[in-house]
Amino acid sequence: MNITRTWRSWAALGSSIAITFAMSACGGTSGNEPNAEPQRTAQSRQDGGTAASGNVLVAYFSASGNTERVAQYIAGATGGDLFHLEPADPYTDEDLDWTDASSRVNAEHEDESLRDIELVSASVDNWDDYDVVFIGYPIWWGIAAWPVNAFVTANDFTGKTVIPFCTSSSSSIGDSGALLADMAGTGDWLGGERFPSGADESAVGDWVAELGL
């Protein structure tokens, strides 16, 4: 795979977002929506889609269903496998209520030690077979929603092209991908892309095509 752009070649966008504005722009944190489509997991490869030069994994955390929908579109466009980053202690609607100063997300935002979110699983079957890994998340307070951290730190991305993507009502992807790349310490990270909460399949497919995988 001849991909030479790393995240370091992409200019870091934006500055830190004010707390209340950023959380309101994170693309839906008011509760979990039912799946829009049946999922295919990393244990069941998808057929069809745009052929990539290697196996593709789409790992994602979704608070309200917006990021999940984009992840499904990417998997469909690439023929990739979906891997849901599911907190062992799931977030409830009340947990995600950023307007409540005593809510879980507010407590985690205020105290970084609470952001070590255990996942049901951070290990992917046949991990070594994947050449391209997309990582999706909503934007929380200007950064990647922290449940993705455990996945990023638990895996070795050496030899893999890693492409972050996020959903948000108005916030940019900022330097969220660069921060995850620093956290990982391995892999060839691209700059990534931000999608609005209501992104449609054609817009996501156009972006995937532009990547030239």
With a CB cutoff of 8 Å and minimum separation 6, the contacts of 206 are none
Across 179-203, average pLDDT: 96
Residue 179 has pLDDT above 70, yes or no: yes
pLDDT, position 197: 87
Query: What's the start-to-end Cα distance of the chain, in Å?
Result: 8
What are the residues facing 61 on neighbouring strands? none
Mean pLDDT, the chain, rounded, equals: 82
Across 170-197, average pLDDT: 95
Question: Each residue of 110-132: pLDDT tens digit?
Answer: 999 999 999 999 999 999 999 99
Q: What is the pTM of this model?
A: 0.78
| CA distance linking residue 213 with residue 187, whole number of Å | 16
Across 145-166, average pLDDT: 98
pLDDT, position 37: 35
Residue 145 has pLDDT above 80, yes or no: yes
Question: Each residue of 45-100: pLDDT tens digit?
Answer: 443 344 454 699 999 999 999 999 999 999 999 999 999 999 999 999 999 998 99
Across 161-176, average pLDDT: 94
DSSP the chain: ------GGGSPPP--PPPHHHHHHTSS--S-PPPPSS---BTTSPPPSSSPPSSEEEEEE--SSSHHHHHHHHHHHHHT-EEEE--BSSPPPTTTT-TTSTTSHHHHHHH-GGGG-PPBS----TTGGGEEEEEEEEEEETTEE-GGGHHHHHHS--TT-EEEEEEE-SS---TTHHHHHHHHH--SEE---EEE-TT--HHHHHHHHHHHT-
Residue 207 has pLDDT above 70, yes or no: yes
Name the percent of the chain lying above pLDDT 70.
75
Residue 208 has pLDDT above 80, yes or no: yes
Name the percent of the chain lying above pLDDT 90.
71
Q: Predicted confidence band at 39 (pLDDT cuts at 50, 70, 90)?
A: very low
Q: Predicted confidence band at 44 (pLDDT cuts at 50, 70, 90)?
A: very low
With a CB cutoff of 8 Å and minimum separation 6, the contacts of 114 are 107, 108
